[in-house]
Chain A
Amino acid sequence: MNTMTINGRVEPLPDDPDALLIDVVRDQLGLTGTKLVCGGGVCGACTVLVDGVPVTSCLMPARAAVGKSVTTVEGIGAPELHPVQKAFMAHDALQCGFCTPGFIVEAAGFCDRWRAAKGTAVPSREEIGAALSGHLCRCGAYDAIYRAVADACAGRFDGDNFASPRIEARDKVTGAAKYTVDVRHDGQLEGVILRSRDAHARIAALDLAPARALSGVIAVSLLSDDRIVRYVGEPIAAVAARDRKTALAALAAIKLTSEPLPAVIGLDAARKDDAPVVFDRASRKKAGNVSEAAGGPAPWKQNVRGPTSVFARRAKRARNWVNEARQANNRLLVEGTFRTGTQQHACLEPHAAVARFDGAELTVHASSQWVVHLKEQIAKRFKLDPARVRVIADHIGGGFGSKAGIGAETIAAVELARAANAPVRVAYDRHEELSVAGYRPAAEVKVALLPSDRGELKALSVTAHADTGAAINSTIAGLARLMYPAEAKDLSDFDVISNLPPGAAFRGPGGPPMAFAVEQAVDEAALRLAVDPIALRKRWDPDPNRQRLYDWALSLDIWRNRTSVQTGRYRRGVGVATGYWFYLWQPKVKVEVAVKGGRIVASTATQDIGTGTRSVLAETVAREFDIEASEVEVRIGDSSLPEGPGSGGSRVTASVLPPTLTAIQKLKAAILDQATRKPAPGSNAPWRELIARSGDIAISETRGEDGKNTAPGIRSPLKDLGLLGVVFGWMMRRNSNIVIGAGVPSSVQVIEVEVDTWLGHVRVLNVHTGLAVGKIAAPQLAHSQACGAIIQGLGYALYEAREVDPLSGEVLTAGMEDYRIPGIADTPEIDVHFDEAGFDHVLGNSVGIGEVATVPTSPAVANAIFNAIGVRLAEIPIRPDRIVAALKGRTAA
């Protein structure tokens, strides 16, 4: 029999010529630290060492490993952590952790070779970037990865004197952390989904019997009663079989006859008068939702839904002023049409669910951003008692908005588990993940910005058409209401529906495209008014948080030393942009802080998608009791715990910190009250002693209302909307369980780029981000969040765009080589400035970072490019084709 040696053990290899090394490692040997992500050798998550050399196990035939020595991440950290693992932990060089094992394997190999050749010399950023160029991290942990690898090579982590700000970091750097895709019950089946191949069709006949007849196929279920499919990839049925290969064979055996209907693909085609209609009146409720909240009513004609203009103010007046200015050739009137690309979430852990019935009890492991909500959705859809449904998400390999609600993976897993009477796993492959798992819709945003003669902002008109696919409820233009007060604002949002997969909420939904358009228009206005762009924002934007950030930005050397448009091949420029997001919190959130068996335990049914929620809770409890975070047990990721918040809308910290703090105070009192012996006078750790001696006590507290904010200018953004705002706030609270709090989390970014005018390449040299998000609960994790948000924003600005076939509606960028997210070598130096004021009225004083930090990145890049080359790029991503076209005065394809 053929064998290999893996982590020191000899193991057999299968004869199947199609077996790949990763299949053996993960499925046969259960070494789930090695992750399957792209399946194409692009992302590096599956990297293992073969005879000491890093290779992608997702592409390497198992046969090729015969007689070789293979080391997986489990072998790197045994018996003692490698210096690279310690450095990743200490520098917080990870977030969701799904890419981390691959990075660790590669970096450990690099570090060992480097140390052997060069001792403790420090590798340069360029050397590290090249060595790790075969790895992708969607959370954007690159900034810390640079530091971790450099320090490990320099010998700074040879000892054991280090600490990690992330309490689950050890599990993530050793591959021990279990994600949904790693869950494996006895007798577990593999489920796959039959999807529409047509962009628009009527299903004439569907015969599942041939699939059921195949050996190894246990269950075949319909996923929908709808006989119309409206996009390529729409789920139709699902199959559970003993393994994936059998399940795929069963899918191929299903006899599906469909009658194609006229289809329409994309923003421009769907707006034509004679375009085929995607949703007739009766089927409109089947449309998806691209926003984090429920939407209001809006006109809907053919494929265009809108305008939604509830945020407008004196819209007609704004339109009239803009028209007059245009007719008068007012040179201060800034007008432009901006286009943004479709951004995929591209979570490295795919959408996945494992469902298991134990009698009437249903347990679902799911890669979910909101276990409580998912539990409720499952109970409702399958008519189950919510008390008998449990959703578990220990670790989640990224979400970014795409895993906030029930999806086809969960529906199929539950349906099949019920039909098969066995546990079933459904995990999307990369093609599914990059086509039907949601995206930030592309948009066309028309802006007209009119300053008054005195240089004030007189009128702002923003009209946005969003390419939402089979979904609705985009708000882009409306977000322009809550900054830059003007005498009149005309703000209209339209959804343009077509036969493409539905969009979904994505990190600050609507914020980045609004900012990309409006922030470039403000930049242009500054040019025409001959005012410093930051100074103009300071004049037009009275928000007290951003006023402080403008002062910080004005003081930056990079800003003060910036020059005007350059000539020559390489041209550098500096740009600025502003962004905001809402301060949201979730009512009814409960946190239990307890002494159990002499240990402190904090529990709430929230989840950690890589943002650091576990650690924020542990740090908070540890700080209050003056103990170490590692002494605190945090229980999250389980819907059976006290109701916790969804990991969306940057709401987690602001929702869980206040009840945690209250519970701690009450628990302290209860511990003292029940203590039979007081701590020794002068004890260094009185609480440690008290906790160890205490009987079991549990305190559960609910998130209370914030205090009245008295600071000038700090108020709920809804107050600006008058009665409408009150109604809107009430609806948000009632329908979406979200409160929009007072004060506006804000970000101002200053970015320097270098444009290679010959090759159209944009290199981002450095990013300075000022963030006003209140008191920072966990500084290193907050820094990681800020950097990650910027790196995702740079991807949005420069590289990322879903491309589709205009005829068939197939997503063409359904692999990681064609859907291009930033790599480590694309990462600039990032300087993060936290301004901690402005949220003293908030219980806990902290609000979220994740969304606000990504909003201004793309316009800051575009403004920097304008500063460098004197041409305004009105469309993202700003790829080489668009740069060379802009320099030639052409319109790019």
Chain B
Amino acid sequence: MSASSPTIAGSVPEFRAAGTDLSERRRSGVSRGPIVDLPVTSGTIGIDWAADGSARIGASTTISAIASDQRIRDAYPGIAGAAQGLATPQIRHLATLGGNLAQRSRCWYFRNPQIGCLKKGGSGCPARSGNHLYHAVFDLGPCVAPHPSTMAMALLAYDATIATDHRSRLSIPDLLGNGTNGAADNALEPGERIEAISFPAPLASERADYKRAISRTYAEWPLVEICARALVSGGIFQHVRIAAGGIAPVPLRLTACEAALEGKPANAEVIAQAAQLATSGAKPLPMTGYKLELLVGLVRDVMERIAK
């Protein structure tokens, strides 16, 4: 590997929330610089509700606290479902919402300390020409690793905004970028910390669901995942939002699908037709074409359950 010897940043401090991502990279040697532990303050932990029914979740709130919060489950079932669906019970007890958004890529080239890549300061993406079985099917940028944050994908479906210590009201695209910067997993400025996430008030009687496609039953990074919301009023879909993860360097809204469902009867035929549009704009890599079928299948699955 001498030709592509990785350069691992040695001096840039990394923030540590619960450490569920960072500890593994420290052990392997992918992360070697100084660590700055994020302080937990009353402003960064817990769930607060405004009079209009909207929620604000502190960045240090654990994933399991979100997944098990009854009011979150009622108001934002897609958020609770995403939180419940990721990682393992023991990780969910430790990991925080902010940490989940700012975690680094799970690409097996990035995680290997012997291999250089764009995210480690290298000049090329070894997955693109190598083994990219679990990588992007929407090839948006030089790095083909899918974004690892399930919560970011769910936040996208909810139009949630992120407050940092530098900026307020960042959208998910503001936070993560558009996928063209292969060197980073997010667009945070150096030293910028996520503090809280705000959700618009849910629509009256809106429905939502989350699901990931994996090979086993639990505890696997998603091949593809979907968080979708809609109102079903008089048998008609309204306010449809569908976000997908596991398919691109950033979570994507499936806008063509949304448009095809908006104002249409909430039935299996309509959903099956609209689901085919989920692949609009896809650019599969040689090994990732299968993700398109999974994407279509997941849209059908989730939207049928929302329609019921």
Residues on A lying within 8 angstroms of B by beta carbon are 17-18, 20, 39-42, 44, 47, 53-56, 58-61, 63-64, 106, 129-131, 133-134, 197-198, 232, 248, 258, 260, 431, 756-761, 763, 798-799, 803-808, 810, 812-815, 817-818, 820, 822-823, 825-826, 877, 879-882, 884-885, 887-888, 890, 892-893
Q: CB-CB < 8 A to A756: which residues of B? A: 297
State in angstroms the CA–CA spacing of A20 and B297 once bound together. 41
Contact A106 B90 (CB under 8 A): yes
A-B contacts, 17 of them at CB < 8 A, read A41-B20, A56-B20, A59-B24, A59-B94, A130-B89, A134-B89, A134-B90, A758-B297, A763-B217, A808-B1, A810-B114, A817-B220, A820-B220, A823-B219, A877-B215, A882-B290, A893-B288
Q: CB-CB < 8 A to B114: which residues of A? A: 197, 232, 808, 810
Q: Is B206 an interface residue (CB 8 A)?
A: no
Smallest beta-carbon distance B31→chain A, Å: 10
Interface string of B211-233 (1 = CB under 8 A from A): 00111111111010000000000
Contact A805 B126 (CB under 8 A): yes
Nearest chain A residue, comparing its CB with the CB of B287: A893
A55 CB contact (under 8 Å) in B29, B90, B112, B214: B90
Contact A41 B24 (CB under 8 A): yes
Contact A56 B294 (CB under 8 A): no
Nearest chain A residue, comparing its CB with the CB of B293: A884
Q: Is B111 an interface residue (CB 8 A)?
A: yes
Contact A803 B23 (CB under 8 A): no
Q: Is B277 an interface residue (CB 8 A)?
A: no
Contact A44 B88 (CB under 8 A): yes
Q: Is B27 an interface residue (CB 8 A)?
A: yes
Smallest beta-carbon distance A670→chain B, Å: 55
- List the 4 shortest-distance A-B pairs measured between CB atoms, nearest first: A134-B88, A758-B297, A893-B287, A881-B290
Nearest chain B residue, comparing its CB with the CB of A135: B88
Smallest beta-carbon distance B217→chain A, Å: 4
Q: Is B130 an interface residue (CB 8 A)?
A: yes
Q: Is B109 an interface residue (CB 8 A)?
A: yes
Q: CB-CB < 8 A to A41: which residues of B? A: 20, 24, 87-88, 90-91
Smallest beta-carbon distance B34→chain A, Å: 8
Smallest beta-carbon distance B52→chain A, Å: 33
Smallest beta-carbon distance B210→chain A, Å: 14
Contact A758 B301 (CB under 8 A): yes
Contact B131 A805 (CB under 8 A): yes
Q: CB-CB < 8 A to A248: which residues of B? A: 29
Smallest beta-carbon distance A731→chain B, Å: 40
Q: CB-CB < 8 A to A799: which residues of B? A: 215-216
State in angstroms the CA–CA spacing of A413 and B12 once bound together. 37
Smallest beta-carbon distance A878→chain B, Å: 9
Q: Is B93 an interface residue (CB 8 A)?
A: yes
Smallest beta-carbon distance B209→chain A, Å: 14
Known: A817-B221, A826-B216. A892 touches B290 (CB 8 A): yes
Interface string of B15-43 (1 = CB under 8 A from A): 01011100110111100000101000000
Q: Is B286 an interface residue (CB 8 A)?
A: yes
State in angstroms the CA–CA spacing of A757 and B161 once bound together. 36
Q: CB-CB < 8 A to B28: which residues of A? A: 431
Contact B109 A823 (CB under 8 A): no
B23 CB contact (under 8 Å) in A20, A129, A260, A805: A20
Q: CB-CB < 8 A to A826: which residues of B? A: 216-217
Contact B37 A63 (CB under 8 A): yes
State in angstroms the CA–CA spacing of A763 and B1 once bound together. 40
Contact A884 B290 (CB under 8 A): yes
Q: CB-CB < 8 A to A757: which residues of B? A: 297
Query: Which among A761, A803, A885 has the highest number of chain B CB atoms within 10 Å?
Result: A761
Nearest chain B residue, comparing its CB with the CB of A61: B19
Q: Is B133 an interface residue (CB 8 A)?
A: yes
Instruction: List B residues 35-71 near A (Cβ within 8 Å).
Output: 35, 37
State in angstroms the CA–CA spacing of A29 and B37 once bound together. 25
Smallest beta-carbon distance B82→chain A, Å: 16
Q: Is B2 an interface residue (CB 8 A)?
A: yes
Nearest chain A residue, comparing its CB with the CB of B218: A133
Q: Is B129 an interface residue (CB 8 A)?
A: yes
Contact A760 B131 (CB under 8 A): no
State in angstroms the CA–CA spacing of A54 and B92 once bound together. 10
Q: Is B239 an interface residue (CB 8 A)?
A: no
Contact B115 A893 (CB under 8 A): no
Interface size on B, as a range, is: 35 or more
State in angstroms the CA–CA spacing of A389 and B215 once bound together. 47
Nearest chain B residue, comparing its CB with the CB of A798: B215
State in angstroms the CA–CA spacing of A16 and B24 once bound together. 16
Residues on B lying within 8 angstroms of A by beta carbon are 1-3, 16, 18-20, 23-24, 26-29, 35, 37, 87-91, 93-94, 106, 108-109, 111-112, 114-115, 126, 129-131, 133, 213-221, 223, 286-291, 293-294, 296-298, 300-301
Query: Which among A42, A260, A812, A818 has the highest number of chain B CB atoms within 10 Å?
Result: A812
Q: CB-CB < 8 A to A884: which residues of B? A: 290, 293-294, 297
Q: CB-CB < 8 A to B2: which residues of A? A: 197-198, 258, 260
Q: CB-CB < 8 A to B217: which residues of A? A: 129, 133, 763, 823, 825-826
4 other A-B residue contacts (CB within 8 Å) besides A759-B301, A826-B216: A59-B18, A808-B130, A814-B112, A893-B289
Q: CB-CB < 8 A to B300: which residues of A? A: 758
Contact B89 A133 (CB under 8 A): yes
State in angstroms the CA–CA spacing of A759 and B112 once bound together. 29
Known: A820-B216, A826-B216, A880-B213. A54 touches B223 (CB 8 A): no
State in angstroms the CA–CA spacing of A106 and B131 once bound together. 36
Contact A810 B112 (CB under 8 A): yes
Smallest beta-carbon distance B85→chain A, Å: 11
Smallest beta-carbon distance A362→chain B, Å: 31
Q: CB-CB < 8 A to A807: which residues of B? A: 126, 129-130
Contact B24 A893 (CB under 8 A): no
Nearest chain A residue, comparing its CB with the CB of B300: A758
Contact B20 A760 (CB under 8 A): no
A893 CB contact (under 8 Å) in B1, B220, B290: B290
State in angstroms the CA–CA spacing of A749 and B87 once bound together. 33
Contact A18 B297 (CB under 8 A): no
State in angstroms the CA–CA spacing of A468 and B287 once bound together. 24
Known: A41-B87, A56-B90, A60-B94. A17 touches B35 (CB 8 A): yes
Contact B93 A54 (CB under 8 A): yes
State in angstroms the CA–CA spacing of A632 and B54 once bound together. 67
Nearest chain B residue, comparing its CB with the CB of A38: B24
Smallest beta-carbon distance B83→chain A, Å: 14
State in angstroms the CA–CA spacing of A669 and B26 once bound together. 64
Smallest beta-carbon distance A253→chain B, Å: 14
State in angstroms the CA–CA spacing of A17 and B33 once bound together. 11
Smallest beta-carbon distance A127→chain B, Å: 12
Nearest chain B residue, comparing its CB with the CB of A102: B90
Q: CB-CB < 8 A to B220: which residues of A? A: 817, 820
Q: CB-CB < 8 A to A53: which residues of B? A: 93
Contact B218 A130 (CB under 8 A): yes
Q: CB-CB < 8 A to A880: which residues of B? A: 213-215, 223, 290, 294
Q: CB-CB < 8 A to B19: which residues of A? A: 59-61, 64
State in angstroms the CA–CA spacing of A813 and B108 once bound together. 7
State in angstroms the CA–CA spacing of A431 and B108 once bound together. 12
Q: CB-CB < 8 A to A44: which residues of B? A: 88, 90
Contact B89 A804 (CB under 8 A): no
Smallest beta-carbon distance B67→chain A, Å: 12
Nearest chain B residue, comparing its CB with the CB of A882: B290
State in angstroms the CA–CA spacing of A882 and B287 once bound together. 11
Q: CB-CB < 8 A to A877: which residues of B? A: 215
State in angstroms the CA–CA spacing of A324 and B2 once bound together. 53
Query: Which among A198, A756, A806, A893 has the highest number of chain B CB atoms within 10 Å?
Result: A893
Q: CB-CB < 8 A to A759: which residues of B? A: 213, 294, 297-298, 301
State in angstroms the CA–CA spacing of A511 and B87 once bound together. 35
Nearest chain A residue, comparing its CB with the CB of B211: A759
Contact A822 B216 (CB under 8 A): yes
Smallest beta-carbon distance B247→chain A, Å: 13
Contact B109 A812 (CB under 8 A): yes
State in angstroms the CA–CA spacing of A892 and B129 once bound together. 17
State in angstroms the CA–CA spacing of A759 and B293 once bound together. 8
